[in-house]
């Protein structure tokens, strides 16, 4: 019995040592399997299923990318920090695939992010270190009323848009209602009935130009990174107590910048 306890203690200590081995700022880890679509001394982009592209920064502690080229099939692991930037921590090149263009899977790809480009022929979404471009064909839904900078959820099949809708409170990790007590270029803080809640603001966050300290609003934030992705006047008549915070369906596994499910 004593030996068994000793083994359990040693096992727990080993797990603890592994857990703290990651950087303290690491907010998420993302594993990607696909083909290299771009590579430079400072970054690498890999196109995965459906054409969704993940871009990771090559830092001082990252493995070398000198042995890979566009078209190579690779497996890479990236770890994100507190500012949403993903850093390359592992890179493995697979045999074959060099020089081939990234393939588009026939299976539908669901993706959530901010619109970075929109015209009559295609739409591009950005989510953390990932980008997805879908063509607009005869069978694609209308994009009228959508605009660059808006957060949406979309689904593409064979590279073409087949579904799209604006993000709502149920699509983000957490939704909070309260009074704005702090507002800067980088953060917004609400006073809710359960205490203060702060979400960070980045380039993909909705504009806060129409909001001021003292306003009562509802805000949605990605649960794992607490990044602002939704901002609107405080909801009324929905049966939820004013000033509260409400759990929404959690984002899918993979971290703050993973695709939002439809």
pLDDT of residue 226: 83
Q: What is the DSSP string of the chain?
A: -HHHHHHHHHHHHHHHHHHTTS-TT--EEEEEEEEEEEE-SSEEEEE-GGG-EEEEE--TTSPP-TT--TT-EEEEEEEE-TTS-EEEEEEEEPSS-TTPPPPPPSS-EEEEEEEEEE-SSEEEEEETTEEEEEE--TTSPP-TT--TT-EEEEEEETTEEEEEEE--GGGSSEEEEEEEEEE-SSEEEEEETTEEEEEE--TTSPP-TT--TT-EEEEEE-TTT-BEEEEEEPP-SSSSPTT-EEE-PPPPTT-TTSPPP-
Question: Is the model more confident about 170 or about 167?
Answer: 167
pLDDT of residue 80: 66
Q: What is the CATH number of domain 169-247?
A: 2.40.50.140
Residue 63 gets the label, from left (phi > 0), alpha (psi -120 to 50) or beta, of beta
Shared fold status for 22-93 and 169-247: yes
The residue with greater pLDDT, 81 or 72, is 72
Taking the chain, what is the end-to-end CA distance rounded to the nearest angstrom?
A: 51
> Which of 10-19, 93-102, 143-152 is least confident?
10-19
**Mean pLDDT, to the nearest integer, of 62-84?**
80
Question: How far is Cα 28 from Cα 43, in angstroms, rounded to an integer?
Answer: 18
Question: Is CATH 2.120.10.30 what the domain over 109-166 is classified as, yes or no?
Answer: no
80 or 105, higher pLDDT: 80
For 26-47, how does the pLDDT look when each residue is reduced to its tens digit (9 = 90+)? Answer: 344 677 888 888 888 888 888 8
List the CATH code of the domain at 22-93.
Answer: 2.40.50.320
Q: pLDDT digits over 237-261, tens only? A: 543 433 344 444 333 333 333 333 3
Range with the poorest average pLDDT among 25-39, 80-94, 228-242: 228-242
Euclidean distance between CA atoms 173 and 247, whole angstroms: 7
pLDDT band at 112 (very low <50, low <70, confident <90, very high): confident
Q: Which two tokens stand for residue 62?
A: 């990252």
Distance, in Å, from the CA atom of 171 to the CA atom of 250, rounded to the nearest integer, reads 8
Angle 194-196-202 from CA coordinates, rounded to 5°:
135
d(CA 174, CA 182): 19
Per-residue pLDDT, averaged over 159-177, amounts to 81
Instruction: Give the whole-number percent of the chain exceeding pLDDT 70.
Output: 67
pLDDT (mean) for 132-152: 88
Domain extent listing, the chain: 22-93, 109-166, 169-247
């Amino acid at each position: 019995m004593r030996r068994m306890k000793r083994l359990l203690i040693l096992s727990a200590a080993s797990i603890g040592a592994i857990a703290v081995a990651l950087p303290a700022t690491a907010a998420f880890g993302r594993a990607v399997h696909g083909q290299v679509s771009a590579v430079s001394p400072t970054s690498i982009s890999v196109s995965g299923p459906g054409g969704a592209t993940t871009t990771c920064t090559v830092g001082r502690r990252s493995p070398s990318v000198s042995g890979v080229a566009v078209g190579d099939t690779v497996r890479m692991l990236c770890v994100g920090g507190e500012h949403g930037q993903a850093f390359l921590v592992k890179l493995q090149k697979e045999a074959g695939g060099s020089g081939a263009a990234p393939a588009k899977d026939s299976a539908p790809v669901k993706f959530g992010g901010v619109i970075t480009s929109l015209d009559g022929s295609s739409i591009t979404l950005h989510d953390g270190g990932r980008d997805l471009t879908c063509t607009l064909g005869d069978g694609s839904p209308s994009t009228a009323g959508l605009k660059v900078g808006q957060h949406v959820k979309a689904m593409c099949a064979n590279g073409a848009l087949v579904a799209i809708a604006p993000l709502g409170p149920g699509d983000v990790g957490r939704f909070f209602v309260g009074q704005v007590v702090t507002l800067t270029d980088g953060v917004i803080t609400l006073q809710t009935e359960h205490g203060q809640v702060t979400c960070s603001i980045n380039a993909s966050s909705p504009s806060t130009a129409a909001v001021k300290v003292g306003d009562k609003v509802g805000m949605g934030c990605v649960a794992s990174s607490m990044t602002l992705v939704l901002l609107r006047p405080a909801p009324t008549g929905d049966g939820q107590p004013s000033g509260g915070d409400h759990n929404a369906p959690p984002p899918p596994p993979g971290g703050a910048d993973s695709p939002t499910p439809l």
